[in-house]
């Protein structure tokens, strides 16, 4: 009997080892399908457990119970070919023999996979329908590859998905209108493809969405009512061909980028009550009329771009501008009259562009009055014509109604009782169903507003020392990223899987903890698309002793694509940026600095503008780091190097 138990033990050990070996073999097959990318060379001579492989900037493998749950790899084959025609391109895509179908088939055998990211690997071909077999996926990112054709409708069966990102590919069909089955989806991003057709109405039924990005495509037709997306914070549909009037927007919207489309009609008054709105770009459309005055005075608005439309009329003399409004562009429209005092350039508080109108001002070039008179006259005439048409139609309808009632009264008098009975029944039914639906709709709306109110603006999180030690493996040297004027930098991974950067600061003089917390809380509230976000901090030594602390740890968002200096080096020609990309990055940095100078009170200066402090994310959007350090280090005796630019 003892031999029998020994045999079972050996058999169990062999099966567990075989399971782990099977997962390893699948990873080796994936490496083969991807044609042995350099990021996976570590698999050649690695004899340890792949589940214990340290995470790197371009490769992450995570496991649970000997099953691979996370596989992220970032290559160097950027999809920036303007004339891609669906065939392999040497040194840009994988070879002619590559099969995306075989790759997806192998991936589906990783049945416990929750996170999959295959970015800039030169993958080409139509995305197979069988991608839906990855039924456990919660995060899917296939950005910057060469996939084309249609987005498979079967992708809507991946009901656990929370993030779906297909940016920078060559998908050239319509978007499936079945995405509303993805009830857990929060981020939907199809930037930079060739997608056509209408904006799918099914997206408006995914109530969990927080970010929708469809910019740089060929979408046309109507942008539907988005008010049901009560959790939506970011909407980016720039550079499409959408040609409807502007729809109703959700109340919690923070960023709305709708530039370079064909939107027409007037800017809805509802835009003037979006209290969370910070960035609104409606430039280069065909919008007309006078914008709502409340748009300039929204409590959170900092960036407002209405340039290059056919907006007309005069802005109110006593127009009020919000305290956070730092950039306004109303140039190249048909405005007349005086420029409101809050939009003049006499103050350094905000940047205002108003050239190309017919305003009565000496600043910035203006057109003659006749240039704008036609638009304003046409607008007035159109209103008069509409009013006359409404009156005429109303009179005709009343006459027809009276004539019809007279005829019915004369010819159908015997049936009056029967018709009255039917009419009363219809009215009763309509009242019952109508009131019920309205009450249900209002109840849902109120519920979502209540949720929004409890969330509020993110505050500075207080991390414990144990959390940071666990995130960095006790500040292991493998996590060390470098050391600069403002302390040592470590890469870390929080318990929820989020990658962060942790800055260790040693202060020359002690602050009171209360004073230090006020400064850190101020920095954590600086939110801008081109700033690296401060997530929280840890003050070494606890909070009991209020005499001060000598060690502070700051926790930032992790920006994966290196710094600007790396992309200027001639030693890596494949990473060197084109001049147009460099200009775009510098404009992004200028926006960030402008926000720091004018978007907050007091302004944040001395922001150490150097090429290695400008970071690039996965889409090469610039994000400024090291900003605001003087706020917590202003008492240090060290001086900044002279070559730093005051920012």
Sheet containing 170-171, strands listed edge to edge, beginning at the edge strand earlier in sequence: 124-126, 146-149, 170-171
What is the per-residue pLDDT across 452-482, written as a single tens digit (0 to 9) for each? Answer: 333 333 456 888 888 889 898 898 888 888 8
Q: Contact at 8 Å (CB) between 628 and 531? A: no
Per 3-state DSSP, the chain is made up of helix, strand and coil in percentages (nearest 5) of 35, 20, 45
Q: What is the dihedral of CA 124, 129, 133, 134, to 10 degrees?
A: 40
CA 398/CA 401 separation, integer angstroms: 5
CA 611/CA 568 separation, integer angstroms: 9
pTM of the model: 0.59
CA 528/CA 171 separation, integer angstroms: 30
CA 352/CA 345 separation, integer angstroms: 7
What is the per-residue pLDDT across 288-318, written as a single tens digit (0 to 9) for each? Answer: 999 999 999 999 999 999 999 999 999 998 8
pLDDT band at 548 (very low <50, low <70, confident <90, very high): very low
Tokens of 429: 């039914």
CA atoms within 13 A on the CB side of 340: 18
H/E stretch holding 553 reads strand 551-557
pLDDT band at 508 (very low <50, low <70, confident <90, very high): low
Q: Which residue has tokens 């080409």? A: 124
Q: Contact at 8 Å (CB) between 621 and 530? A: yes
Indicate the average pLDDT of the chain: 80
Q: Contact at 8 Å (CB) between 359 and 369? A: no
Q: Contact at 8 Å (CB) between 317 and 338? A: yes
CA 631/CA 602 separation, integer angstroms: 11
State the average pLDDT over residues 491-504.
Answer: 88
CA 232/CA 211 separation, integer angstroms: 6
Tokens of 366: 């203006």
CA 365/CA 212 separation, integer angstroms: 37
Q: Which domains does the chain have, with CATH numbers?
A: 18-173 (3.80.10.10), 461-632 (1.10.510.10)
The sign one gets for the Cα dihedral 141, 143, 149, 151 is positive
Which phi and psi angles does 299 have, rounded to 5°?
Answer: -65, -25
Residue-level pLDDT at 244: 93
Instruction: Map residue 372 onto helix, strand or coil.
Output: helix
Please name which of 264, 383, 378, 376 lies closest in space to residue 313, comparing C-alpha atoms.
376
Q: Contact at 8 Å (CB) between 211 and 187? A: yes
CA 452/CA 229 separation, integer angstroms: 12
What is the per-residue pLDDT across 371-385, written as a single tens digit (0 to 9) for each? Answer: 887 755 555 555 566
Q: What is the dihedral of CA 306, 308, 310, 314, to 10 degrees?
A: 50
pLDDT band at 12 (very low <50, low <70, confident <90, very high): very low
Instruction: Map residue 645 onto helix, strand or coil.
Output: strand
State the average pLDDT over residues 264-273.
Answer: 94
Indicate the range of 93-107, 263-277, 369-383 predicted with least confidence. 369-383
Please name which of 110, 3, 103 lies closest in space to residue 67, comparing C-alpha atoms.
110
pLDDT at 441 over 50: no
Sort residue 266 into left (φ over 0), alpha (ψ -120 to 50) or beta: beta
**205-211 long-range Cβ contacts below 8 angstroms, 24+ apart:** 205/180, 206/179, 206/180, 206/182, 207/183, 207/231, 207/448, 208/183, 208/184, 209/185, 210/186, 210/234, 211/186, 211/187
Please name which of 218, 222, 280, 228 lies closest in space to residue 249, comparing C-alpha atoms.
228
What is the per-residue pLDDT across 589-600, written as a single tens digit (0 to 9) for each? Answer: 888 888 888 877
Better-predicted residue by pLDDT, 3 or 513: 513
Provide the residue count of the chain. Answer: 647
Percentage of the chain lying above the pLDDT 70 cut: 79
**Is 298 buried (19+), middle (13-18) or exposed (0-12) by CB count in 10 A?**
buried
What is the per-residue pLDDT across 110-152, written as a single tens digit (0 to 9) for each? Answer: 999 999 999 999 999 999 999 999 999 999 999 999 999 999 9
H/E stretch holding 304 reads strand 303-305
CA atoms within 13 A on the CB side of 299: 6
Please name which of 102, 95, 190, 105 lies closest in space to residue 150, comparing C-alpha atoms.
190
Q: ∠ CA 625-626-632 to the nearest 5 degrees? A: 140
**Beta partners for 622?**
616
CA 106/CA 134 separation, integer angstroms: 10
Tokens of 50: 């792949």
Please name which of 573, 643, 587, 633 lies closest in space to residue 612, comparing C-alpha atoms.
643
Q: What is the dihedral of CA 562, 567, 568, 572, to 10 degrees?
A: 120
CA 614/CA 530 separation, integer angstroms: 9
Residue-level pLDDT at 453: 33
pLDDT at 54 over 60: yes
Q: Are strands 124-126 and 146-149 parallel, antiparallel or unpaired?
A: parallel
**Is 440 buried (19+), middle (13-18) or exposed (0-12) by CB count in 10 A?**
exposed
CA 308/CA 283 separation, integer angstroms: 6
CA 285/CA 613 separation, integer angstroms: 35
DSSP character at residue 482? E
Tokens of 552: 């502070």
Residue-level pLDDT at 4: 46
CA 226/CA 204 separation, integer angstroms: 6
Q: Contact at 8 Å (CB) between 537 and 463? A: yes
- Based on its alpha-carbon atoms, the radius of gyration of the chain, rounded to whole angstroms, reads 30
Q: Contact at 8 Å (CB) between 201 and 181? A: no
Q: Are strands 499-506 and 487-493 parallel, antiparallel or unpaired?
A: antiparallel
Tokens of 23: 């997962």
Please name which of 143, 147, 119, 267 lies closest in space to residue 213, comparing C-alpha atoms.
143
The sign one gets for the Cα dihedral 538, 541, 542, 548 is negative
Residue-level pLDDT at 197: 94
Better-predicted residue by pLDDT, 247 or 461: 247
**Beta partners for 490?**
480, 502
């Amino acid at each position: 009997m003892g031999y029998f138990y020994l045999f079972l033990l050996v058999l169990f050990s062999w099966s567990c080892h075989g399971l782990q070996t099977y997962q390893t073999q699948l990873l080796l097959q994936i490496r083969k399908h991807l044609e042995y990318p350099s990021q996976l060379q570590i698999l050649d001579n690695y004899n340890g457990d792949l589940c214990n492989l340290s995470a790197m900037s371009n490769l992450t493998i995570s496991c649970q119970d000997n099953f691979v749950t996370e596989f992220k790899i970032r290559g160097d084959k950027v999809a920036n070919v303007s004339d891609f025609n669906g065939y392999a391109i040497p040194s840009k895509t994988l070879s002619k023999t590559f099969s995306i179908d075989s790759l997806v088939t192998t991936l589906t055998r990783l049945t416990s996979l929750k996170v999959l990211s295959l970015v800039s690997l030169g993958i080409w071909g139509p995305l197979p329908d069988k991608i839906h077999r990855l039924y456990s996926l919660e995060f899917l990112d296939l950005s910057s590859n060469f996939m084309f054709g249609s987005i498979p409708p079967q992708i809507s069966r991946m009901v656990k998905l929370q993030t779906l990102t297909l940016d920078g590919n060559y998908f050239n069909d319509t978007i499936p209108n079945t995405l509303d089955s993805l009830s857990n989806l929060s981020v939907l991003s199809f930037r930079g493809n060739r997608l056509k057709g209408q904006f799918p109405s099914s997206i408006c039924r995914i109530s969990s969405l927080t970010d929708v990005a469809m910019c740089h495509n060929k979408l046309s037709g109507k942008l539907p009512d988005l008010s049901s997306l009560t959790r939506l914070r970011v909407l980016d549909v720039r550079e499409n061909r959408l040609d409807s009037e502007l729809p109703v927007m959700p109340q919690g919207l923070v960023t709305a980028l709708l530039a370079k489309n064909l939107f027409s009609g007037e800017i809805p008054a509802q835009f003037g009550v979006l209290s969370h709105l910070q960035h609104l770009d409606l430039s280069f459309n065909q919008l007309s009329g006078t914008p709502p005055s409340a748009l300039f005075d929204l409590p959170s608005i900092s960036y407002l771009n209405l340039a290059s439309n056919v907006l007309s009329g005069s802005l109110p003399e006593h127009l009020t501008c919000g305290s956070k409004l730092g950039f306004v562009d109303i140039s190249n429209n048909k405005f007349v009259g005086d420029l409101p005092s809050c939009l003049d350039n006499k103050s350094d508080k905000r940047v205002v562009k108003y050239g190309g109108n017919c305003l009565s001002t000496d600043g910035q070039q203006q057109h003659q009055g006749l240039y704008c008179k036609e638009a304003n006259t046409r607008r007035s005439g159109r209103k008069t014509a509409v009013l006359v048409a409404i009156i005429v139609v109303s009179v005709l309808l009343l006459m027809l109604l009276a004539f019809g009632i007279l005829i019915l009264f004369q010819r159908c008098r015997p049936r009056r009782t029967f018709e009255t009975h039917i009419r009363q029944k219809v009215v009763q039914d309509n009242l019952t169903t109508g009131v019920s639906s309205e009450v249900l709709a209002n109840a849902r709306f109120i519920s979502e507003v209540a949720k929004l109110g409890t969330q509020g603006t993110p505050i500075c999180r207080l991390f414990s020392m144990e959390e940071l030690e666990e995130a960095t493996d006790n500040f292991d040297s493998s996590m060390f990223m470098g050391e600069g004027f403002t302390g040592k930098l470590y890469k870390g991974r929080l318990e929820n899987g989020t990658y962060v950067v942790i800055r260790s600061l040693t202060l020359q003089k002690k602050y009171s903890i209360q004073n230090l917390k006020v400064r850190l809380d101020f920095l954590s509230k600086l939110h801008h698309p081109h700033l690296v976000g401060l997530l929280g901090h840890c003050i070494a030594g606890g909070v009991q002793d209020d005499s001060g602390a000598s060690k502070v740890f700051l926790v930032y968002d992790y920006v994966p694509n290196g710094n600007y200096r790396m992309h200027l080096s001639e030693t890596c020609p494949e990473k060197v940026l084109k001049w147009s990309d460099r200009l775009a990055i510098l404009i992004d940095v200028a926006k960030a600095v402008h926000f720091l100078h004018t978007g907050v009170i007091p302004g944040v200066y001395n922001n150490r503008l150097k090429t290695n402090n400008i970071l690039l994310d996965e889409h090469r959007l610039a994000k400024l780091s090291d900003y605001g350090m003087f706020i917590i280090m202003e008492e240090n005796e060290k001086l900044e190097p002279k070559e730093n630019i005051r920012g």
